[in-house]
Amino acid sequence: MFMKGKKGVILGVANDKSIAYGIAKACAAQGAQIAFTYLNDSLKKRVVPIATEFGSENLVYPCDVSNPEEVKALKESLEKDLGQIDFIVHSIAFAPKEGLSGRFYDISKEAFDIAMDISVYSLIEITRELKPLLSNNSSILTLSYYGGVKYIPNYNLMGVAKAALEMTTKYLAEDLGRDGIRVNAISAGPIKTLAAAGISDFRFMLKWNEAHSPLKKNVTIDEVGNSGMYLLSDLSSAVTGEIHYVDSGFNIMG
């Protein structure tokens, strides 16, 4: 029971295919108490049964990270219902469709701002707003992708956002280390989720990764979940500022 006695919040469950769901499953199996958030009312219908599955039916809150009031309200609710927390999972990203295909130089400032706000700035904002609740032995985890390091066809605007997210992880790790807060990212291999459906030719990405990774397979949300649990637990107590690849080894290939 590596998460026994730990309480935390997971942002970014859209359904039971979400990476955040895999992380919740692994943490709950190790004894964690988990609060969940949902983006809007249509996702609420999906998230409430998932929270119930983990005994968290009374710990489900709205939080659209592009709305600072909802982030502040989340802090108030968590404080009231959980008090101190030990972990945060930020499993959120969004880019307008125009940023995920076509010519890169065509990206509008509006699309750029939206992608950076929801996929990057939200990690800073969530961290700042929830920091008063974090214990001095706590862990924050976000999700990245290799398209933030190397060119990946069609990943375009999200690639730029993931590069910024990875550096945000490192600067936050330095800043919060003195408070006993660790900040890490998992760079996951491609997985068929709602968010992935927005990326053109995603099926080709899956096939390519399977064929060209050392393990010759794609990764599952359970595998990302287990690695996430490690980074959220005391098993990784000396690990911070790390971008941990869970990608069947794809990133080492030339």
Which residues are catalytically annotated?
145, 155
End-to-end Cα separation, the chain, in angstroms: 39
Closest approach, Cβ 103 to ligand 0WD, in A, equals 22
Which class for 67: exposed (0-12), middle (13-18), buried (19 or more C-beta within 10 A)?
Answer: exposed
Strand order through the sheet with 7-11: 60-62, 33-38, 7-11, 85-90, 134-144, 181-188, 243-246
**Residue 141 binds ligand 0WD (CB under 6 A):** no
Comparison of 138 and 228: residue with beta carbon closer to ligand 0WD: 228
**Residue 19 binds ligand 0WD (CB under 6 A):** yes
Comparison of 31 and 68: residue with beta carbon closer to ligand 0WD: 68
The CB density around residue 217, as the number of other CB atoms within 10 Å, is 12
**Residue 245 binds ligand 0WD (CB under 6 A):** no
* The two structure tokens encoding residue 4: 């026994």
Site pattern 113..132 for ligand 0WD (x: CB under 6 A): -----x--------------
**Residue 73 binds ligand 0WD (CB under 6 A):** no
Which class for 139: exposed (0-12), middle (13-18), buried (19 or more C-beta within 10 A)?
Answer: buried
**Residue 43 binds ligand 0WD (CB under 6 A):** yes
Vertex 39 angle, CA 37 and 41, to 5°: 105
From candidates 125, 196, 220, 249, binder to ligand 0WD by CB under 6 A:
196
**Residue 230 binds ligand 0WD (CB under 6 A):** no
The CB density around residue 196, as the number of other CB atoms within 10 Å, is 16
Closest approach, Cβ 4 to ligand 0WD, in A, equals 26
Closest approach, Cβ 66 to ligand 0WD, in A, equals 4
* The two structure tokens encoding residue 167: 């550096």
**Residue 143 binds ligand 0WD (CB under 6 A):** yes
The CB density around residue 89, as the number of other CB atoms within 10 Å, is 27
Is there a contact between 99 and 107 (Cβ–Cβ < 8 Å)?
Answer: yes
**Residue 184 binds ligand 0WD (CB under 6 A):** no
Closest approach, Cβ 250 to ligand 0WD, in A, equals 11
Closest approach, Cβ 19 to ligand 0WD, in A, equals 4
**Residue 14 binds ligand 0WD (CB under 6 A):** yes
Q: How far apart are CA 9 and CA 133, in angstroms?
A: 11
From candidates 10, 24, 65, 78, binder to ligand 0WD by CB under 6 A:
65
Residue 232 CA to chain centroid, in angstroms? Answer: 12
Residue ranges in contact with ligand 0WD by CB under 6 A = 12, 14, 18-20, 39, 43, 63-66, 91-94, 118, 143-145, 188, 190-191, 193-196
